[in-house]
Structure 1
């Protein structure tokens, strides 16, 4: 029996209260290959590397020549497609499983905020090393730029991909025919850039950017973030009308085509890379301001930890039961750090939004903040109606943030970050937090390696150089902050020297010869899940599944190489903190 996915998405277009809307984009995965593959259907769980390993190594199931069906969640959808291609699949169907996208005890939309069975999650399935236009990797997609042919585009899938809802997933039988008629074409996109020129250091930039394109209505992603960006711009406009000017230049950016692979932000970063690397203090992301309504979530460079803590103590908590308390207090109580219960949890930056090119490739200190779910009890992926037609204004107004106070808190934090970074005489970065983070990350990757203890000894692999470099960096950070407390704030040259060292520290962790598209030695998206941030990604990737590598000696040599590169990079970063001769 065959099921045409053309029929499936027509059924799935039924939307409560929006029946008369005629221009809804039907469910599809951007950059899918065209085709009509037909074959046996194999369920591959989340289509992670380990899922295919289980099928092949433990169950003796070969996916070659088969169509696979995978549930969304755990990893970026583009990684799922890449893994399916590597396993020999001729097509992949993606669906949102109720186990991952349906919270117990909550009605489906419109009676509640849960995912209806007809909803299909859209999204791009590019799998680039980095982000941006797959036809101009590493370079801006301008009229003069050389372009690859679409068939040669970097990271574009070679097999058809299509999303469906869980109602449709239930009726698929063992044999399926896919009809995917996506067409890829070159089209113009538009970024909107606004600036406030700095009054003292106009050649130093603080960037606030967020995308405005969405899959269908996009009330949460990105509109909850777009609204915050607009409010912050308006607030700075009011300050300027009263005569205020920032010390440094502020750049506001509304990015286009984020949903197609961070295109607008990445192409602008590539076009202006040299200038941005020379002049940028920080990039603050303004994507979705809510993905839940339980507590604050922050992902950022360790340089921003102290500033985030300070600012959240000055913002009122919007949470019930925390009246007359700060955002910091509610955040700390609801989500303390696993490393130190005296501080709220802050996550590593991975990918999946517009900060990627600025942080991972250009080495610009970056951060993002939004409201999120309870990560301990709410085990569903993202928010249930993510990237579906049910992501409407009514969803936000009726269920997620009826008073809009949580989005206000996010706006206050994002705006305050921009204000402090742009107007403080000394850039409010704390390098000692970076030193503590490096120590934690080095310990973590070392502990991960200990399950291969015998192989470490057999192949002469040692982490001593890494721990030595971290120790030297910690000492340099302490000495830097000692000197920072003694700097003459009335001496513009002395202030500029210290600020330049602060600004350029993140750049010191960028290795031009590093992992393709992931040049940050300390933080990068995982090669197995682009959404997740990985510390010491080179070492981590080299050790992944190392026990099954065909040539163990060369595999462990690769581990030694990446330990050496990480140690050198940290040592070199420590050198940038020394007193200027």
Structure 2
């Protein structure tokens, strides 16, 4: 159900115009499937979970095993959240009682065609009734039928009834006031709503932050006071569209821009490896946390276990060598799909998403089977990883709250931005090479000669070879960023020498304010092209991927969509953002170095 699939359908002469599309889960976020179907003229969309992905093919089905049974249905929002998340009727402002609202028909994120999720038991007779060409190999699943493309002759009567009532949501917010820097906020969150029972999603994460909050409360009773204000949040309405967190972050936009130090999110939690994603200014900090958390099963540090996993999973010798050599494990970028979205990508607050998993595969996601029985039989059966998550989140919160100098670091950040630049240059070159080769094959008659007249394909048309993009501004900005990161590293090293005397004499309030603003500098007021709600210039969910992150999204997606002029223009915008970031980092370094 992604754009490339429809390009392939076009070449096979199959149109979905006026038809109901049936699409499989996976390979993109669910909301992309009806979005792209509607763009190609479909009038409805069914989405089913094929057993190939999360049913009887990978393992035993519930209740004998962890995987999705035949009647399991994956619920989920299909709002166009890559355009903006939250209340569809109040984009960019908190959905308070008196907020000005769009009409339902005006809301651009509400899907324009009816959509319904179904089980693979219900999908099987529909798929079996389709005729037409056999589906490409990668489109076939595990249902034991021949997968055809259609259209028809199967017919479906699709009726979806929606309730558009406005109802209140309930975010639960708890604060511990800071004793020294009360206007600097360290924020922790996990949602509390679920589609049905929600034992794994979200309660396995929610119980961890409740334990963190309880433990911090005990410390407060014993006399401890954090230097910075700590805020714990239990969000409502995450499942329908990140509603509770987004509306809170929109309502408190100015306050969060002024006071937000960092936001640490969790969601579902399971058994296995510690996963951390997020802002690369916090990459070293998150690695240090992982080094101090013990993995409950192996007794290795969570960091060491993840490092060994990455060595095992590396696809090339170069990747294995980097994992062994690099001081810190790389932290993946955040796209969307949970409550960090508004904090990072709209408000510009440095964010992390944390959680354990990887050893407890299953197929109960967003279904009625996500219950206590499933969790205690097939996931974190002894609740030891729930405790480990509480240790991870609690340690991170306390270190951020009590640090004299906030633990932002820019060497890993600059290194990561350098990799993004290399990826973009490689992508641009690949598109040039691919189009040149395809044009050559068209001229040679390759497609005509290999076209089966009984199963014909429409040959592609020639295209203009993409121009060379001017990456020089980006390259120069990365060089400046790298130098400023090294300047800051040396300044911190000097300030910490001699027992930290220089650090104590430095104007830490001024330096910390700069560090807090470092993530804000990566945003722009105008946001991304065609979706201004997303203001971060380095991280965003892909417009046609959904949850998955697109790094340097304005440039990357312009290249992917062959908008070459826009790509050149956005390179300049990103370069300016990075230059401003480098200047901020240098200023922080100079203020530290000025201490006597």
Preserved CA contact (<8 Å) 2:45 2:116? yes
Preserved CA contact (<8 Å) 2:235 2:245? yes
- The SS at the match of 2:61 is coil
Aligned counterpart, 2:378: 399
Aligned counterparts, 1:517-556, within 5 A: 517-546=533-562, 555-556=563-564
Aligned counterpart, 1:315: 293
Q: Deviations over 1:69-92 (max 9, x none)?
A: 001112111111110110111100
Preserved CA contact (<8 Å) 2:333 2:549? yes
RMSD (Å), alpha carbons? 1.9
TM-score by length of 1: 0.85
- The SS at the match of 1:296 is strand
Aligned counterpart, 2:323: 341
Aligned counterparts, 1:402-417, within 5 A: 402-417=381-396
Preserved CA contact (<8 Å) 1:484 1:498? no
Aligned counterpart, 1:73: 26
CA–CA distance in 1 between the matches of 2:475 and 2:420?
10
Aligned counterpart, 2:404: 425
- 5+ long unaligned stretches in structure 1: 1-46, 547-554
Shift of 1:154: 2.5
Aligned counterpart, 2:457: none
Preserved CA contact (<8 Å) 2:540 2:549? yes
Shift of 1:206: 0.3
Aligned counterpart, 1:490: 504
Shift of 1:165: 0.5
CA–CA distance in 2 between the matches of 1:458 and 1:121?
41
Q: Kindly indicate which of the two structures has a greater share of residues assigned to helix.
A: 2
CA–CA distance in 1 between the matches of 2:303 and 2:468?
46
CA–CA distance in 2 between the matches of 1:175 and 1:75?
26
Shift of 1:329: 1.6
Aligned counterpart, 1:152: 106
* Misfit runs of 4+, over 3 Å: 336-339, 452-460
Aligned counterpart, 2:421: 442
Preserved CA contact (<8 Å) 2:191 2:206? yes
Shift of 1:163: 0.6
Aligned counterpart, 2:305: 330
CA–CA distance in 2 between the matches of 1:462 and 1:244?
54
Which among 363, 368, 371 is matched to residue 389 of structure 1? 368
CA–CA distance in 2 between the matches of 1:416 and 1:130?
32
Shift of 1:416: 0.9
- The SS at the match of 1:146 is coil
Aligned counterpart, 1:502: 515
Aligned counterpart, 2:456: none
CA–CA distance in 2 between the matches of 1:70 and 1:395?
27
Preserved CA contact (<8 Å) 1:213 1:257? yes
> Which segment drifts farther, 359-368 or 73-82?
73-82
- The SS at the match of 1:489 is helix
Which among 235, 259, 266 is matched to residue 286 of structure 1? 266
- The yes-or-no answer on 1:355 pairing with 2:308 is no
Preserved CA contact (<8 Å) 1:332 1:345? no
CA–CA distance in 1 between the matches of 2:56 and 2:553?
33
Shift of 1:363: 0.9
TM-score by length of 2: 0.83
Aligned counterparts, 1:188-203, within 5 A: 188-203=168-183
Shift of 1:180: 1.3
Shift of 1:345: 4.9
Q: Deviations over 1:60-113 (max 9, x none)?
A: 111110000001112111111110110111100011111111364621111110
- The yes-or-no answer on 1:163 pairing with 2:171 is no
Aligned counterpart, 2:449: none
- 5+ long unaligned stretches in structure 2: 130-153, 436-463, 496-501, 592-596
- The SS at the match of 1:213 is coil
Shift of 1:578: 2.2
Preserved CA contact (<8 Å) 2:334 2:539? yes
Preserved CA contact (<8 Å) 2:188 2:232? yes
Instruction: Note closer, same or farther for the CA distance 1:237–1:312 as it changes in structure 2 (3 Å cut).
Output: same
Q: Deviations over 1:127-185 (max 9, x none)?
A: 04121110011111112211111111231011111011001100123211112122222
Preserved CA contact (<8 Å) 2:52 2:58? no
Instruction: Note closer, same or farther for the CA distance 1:253–1:475 as it changes in structure 2 (3 Å cut).
Output: same
Paired positions, count: 514
Aligned counterpart, 1:91: 44
CA–CA distance in 2 between the matches of 1:80 and 1:281?
36
Aligned counterpart, 1:186: 166
Instruction: Note closer, same or farther for the CA distance 1:434–1:105 as it changes in structure 2 (3 Å cut).
Output: closer
Instruction: Note closer, same or farther for the CA distance 1:238–1:103 as it changes in structure 2 (3 Å cut).
Output: farther
CA–CA distance in 2 between the matches of 1:572 and 1:370?
33
Instruction: Note closer, same or farther for the CA distance 1:54–1:67 as it changes in structure 2 (3 Å cut).
Output: same
CA–CA distance in 2 between the matches of 1:195 and 1:286?
18
Q: Kindly indicate which of the two structures has a greater share of residues assigned to strand.
A: 1
